[in-house]
Amino acid sequence: MTLEFSFSKVLKSLRSAKRMSQEELSFRSDLDRTYISMLERGIYQPTLTTIFALSKSLDITPSELIKLVENEYDEVNDKE
């Protein structure tokens, strides 16, 4: 599994857990909704600025977000 896909899974999971639409997340993070969609599909990789904007909107720290992505990536790749 790629890092992009791990990030996409974590982002979608966090957004869904907060019962937030892509549109609401895009508004809160000042990012385009289509960009959020492409991040959640693993098409784009987030920049550092994007990671900070998304984590603030999701009420977690950037380091927590990265740690969740790291855990997801390690968990899936350990199984392969």
The answer, as to whether pTM is greater than 0.75, is yes
The first and second tokens of residue 11, run together, are 């982002």
* pLDDT, tens only, 18-39: 999 999 999 999 999 999 999 9
Question: In degrees rounded to 5, what are phi and psi of residue 61?
Answer: -85, 155
Query: Per-residue DSSP letters for 1-31?
Result: --HHHHHHHHHHHHHHHTT--HHHHHHHHT-
Residues in the chain predicted with pLDDT less than 70, given as ranges, are 1, 80
